[in-house]
Amino acid sequence: MKATNERIIVFDTETTGMNMTGPHYEGHCIVEIGAVEIINRKLTGNTFHVYIKPDREIDAEAIDVHGITDEFLVDKPTYGEVHQEFMDFIQGAELVAHNAPFDIGFMDYEFGKLDPSIGKTTDFCKVTDTLEMAKRLFPGKRNNLDVLCSRYGIDNSHRTLHGALLDAEILADVYLMMTGGQTSLALSSGSEESDAGAENAIRRLASGRKALKVIRASADEIQAHEARLDIIDKKGDVMWRQ
């Protein structure tokens, strides 16, 4: 199980395209960032979410995935306008993402465009890839986010399109299950916050299995059992009778 005193940021990004080939990802960039904070294995309710106006058009295949259009982003801030707020949120934390090289690669690309002196994400944050974790836990199996939700009984029925904040929230549930089976994500302090935190609980899916039928022994069966124990119990120390 992970240490409980770490500040963890579970995050996701959506981008203008899916192509990661080439040194500049063919100019593709981030259009949405969503992140949630975990401290002491509990969601704190502290989140970061922003839509970003890119400097290029969004590929049609990307729109099919996340539903974010160029028209929607016209009045949104550029990455440079949100960079410092984002850096303040993630600084020094352990970053958790599913297929982390994809998201980290785009973050590093944005950093480099803005100011090469910023450096790389790994210069100021530890990065954990839940896809690699899942591959170790379930070798040879599919391990995308939807599959992991099904495997751990987490309800993601409200996920019809990819969305950075929604995916980060779902991944936080998955991550906690993968690293120790945490099943309650109540907020960490305050009665009002705790009540609000009920909304952050992992939603476990019903298995659909009927409860096991309990068949109790009859009086004759109990008597026969005791007789058998009498044969075995030479020293009066049969553990079933203790």
98 is a catalytic site residue? no
CA angle (81, 166, 164) in 5-degree steps? 35
Q: What is the pLDDT of residue 132?
A: 96
Bridge-based pairing of strands 94-97 and 126-129 is parallel
Q: What is the pLDDT of residue 186?
A: 42
Q: What is the pLDDT of residue 211?
A: 46
169 to 12, 47, 239: CA distances (angstroms): 9, 9, 49
Q: What is the pLDDT of residue 11?
A: 96
Q: What is the pLDDT of residue 18?
A: 75
Q: What is the pLDDT of residue 6?
A: 84
The residue type found at 238 is: V
**Alpha carbons 204 and 188: distance in angstroms, whole number:** 21
**Alpha carbons 64 and 16: distance in angstroms, whole number:** 11
Mean pLDDT of each 10-residue bin along the chain, 242 residues long: 72 86 72 96 95 94 92 97 97 95 93 95 95 95 92 80 88 93 45 41 45 61 66 48 44
Report field, pTM of the whole predicted structure over 0.75: no
If phi > 0 it is left, if psi is from -120 to 50 it is alpha, else beta; for residue 108 that is alpha
Contact (CB, 8 A) for 61 and 28? no
- State the catalytic residue, choosing from 28, 66, 98, 162: 162
DSSP string, 26-86: GG--EEEEEEEEEETTEEEEEEEEEE---SSPPPHHHHHHH---TTTTTTSPPHHHHHHHH
Which has the closest alpha carbon to 16: 74, 72, 49, 55? 55
Q: What is the pLDDT of residue 239?
A: 46
Q: What is the pLDDT of residue 162?
A: 77
